Amino acid sequence: MLTFLLALLVTKPQLECAQNIDAASLRIVPSSLQLFEYKSVSFTCEGFKGQRRVRNQKEFIPMCPRDGNASVVACTVEYAFETDSGQYWCESEDGHRSNTVNITVTAGSVILEGPVLPVMEGDAVTLRCRHKNMPYLPADFYKDGHLVGSGDQGQMTIGNVSKSDEGFYSCSTSESGKSAGSPLTVRHIDKSNHQEEVILEGPVLPVMEGDAVTLRCRLRKTVSNHPAEFYKDGIPARSSLTGDMSILSVSASDEGLYSCAISGFGRSTGSRLMVRRPLTGALSSHRLLLLLWIAIIILVVLLLSVIGQLHYIKQTVSAVDQLKTEARMEPYVLS
């Protein structure tokens, strides 16, 4: 079983007649085709009309709701076992389905983390060799079984990926053996479209935590909307049929360098999203503490003032009583 935390699947109602597959993209969280046994993963169906569910080669995921009115259908299962390895996709009641994601669940100690979806030509792609218990181990990387690179920190970056970089990648560490393999797919950019620049529109100034933020991916010279892929810090974040990506309640975890890509036209430059915290939380706690100390100091000053006044009154009363006593004693002294 799998704990499906959150992932994104966006579909485009455009069928490939032979297979009746919608041009959709399926994302998983964590964003990797490989995961350790007993870890969690998430799928979310979005974009289909009517009822749709997540399924694999054997069955529909039982926990997946069948709500035709919901815009998003998320599926949650509890833990990943090796027997859960295989292909997953979203499928509507009339047979339309998304692309397929092939997940590998391993009981071993090493996995390869890389792009789940195809990348665009010219992108920078980072592959990470991850150990279950020890981070940043030196690793060797293989493409189609041949050594292609090494990384002291357990990662390898292809700076300007091309179609020739497509293949089946795996990694190994000297301490823990070799990972399973995962495919890297590269999308070709049509050179004739290079006169059209892809741009990402979003907030220029920092936004406040809790605000709604919309990022828009479009072509500079074209008004119409295009399906787009959005990336955060180089990692696929979301797909959109309309070229818009909305974050309904932005938080500090959403900060990062965002870019987008339109198939056949390339990728935009990066734009940083910065999030400011409102003057609550830690800041207000400091202010409350300061106000508390000021109040304590004022109370101490007032208390000392009252004590001083009482002492003064007491001395004054004592002096008056002494004068009265001396006045009463004077006749006896004279006689």
Closest CA to 79 of 36, 45, 115, 18: 36
HSE-CB for 84 with a 13 A CA cutoff: 25
Provide the Cα torsion 254, 258, 260, 266; round to 10°.
-160
SS3 63: coil
CA distances in angstroms from 222 to 190, 198, 217, 225, 228, listed in the order given: 17, 10, 11, 8, 14
SS3 164: helix
DSSP code string of 188-242: PP-GGGTTSPEEEE--SS-EETT--EEEEEEETT--S---EEEEETTEEEEEESS
pLDDT at 8: 32
Confidence of residue 111 (pLDDT cuts 50, 70, 90): very high
How confident is the model over 230-241, as a mean pLDDT?
81
**Contact by Cβ (8 Å): 221, 193:** no
Asked if pLDDT for residue 322 goes beyond 60, the answer is yes
HSE-CB for 284 with a 13 A CA cutoff: 5
- What phi and psi, each to the nearest 5 degrees, are found at residue 224? -65, 155
pLDDT tens-digit map of 299-310 = 999 999 889 888
pLDDT at 143: 95
When comparing pLDDT for 167 and 4, which is higher?
A: 167
- Give the length of the chain: 335
HSE-CB for 313 with a 13 A CA cutoff: 6
Q: 182-191, 239-248, 274-283 — which one is most confidently predicted on average?
A: 239-248
Provide the CA 75 distance to its chain's centre, in angstroms. Answer: 18
pLDDT at 236: 76
How confident is the model over 165-188, as a mean pLDDT?
90
Lowest pLDDT segment from 42-46, 127-131, 133-137, 139-143: 42-46
This prediction's pTM: 0.56
pLDDT at 168: 94
How confident is the model over 228-252, as a mean pLDDT?
84
- All structural domains of the chain, each given as residue ranges with its CATH number in brackets, are 1-107 (2.60.40.10), 116-187 (2.60.40.10), 191-276 (2.60.40.10)
Whole-angstrom Cα Rg for the chain? 34
pLDDT tens-digit map of 56-85 = 888 887 766 665 555 566 776 678 889 989
Could you tell me where the DSSP H helices lie in the chain? Answer: 282-334
How confident is the model over 202-231, as a mean pLDDT?
87
pLDDT at 11: 32
When comparing pLDDT for 330 and 11, which is higher?
A: 330
CA distance 253 to 286: 23
* Residue 268: DSSP 8-state: P
Confidence of residue 178 (pLDDT cuts 50, 70, 90): very high
pLDDT at 61: 76
Mean pLDDT rounded to a whole number for the chain: 79
pLDDT at 323: 78
Type of residue at 31: S
CA distance 175 to 129: 12
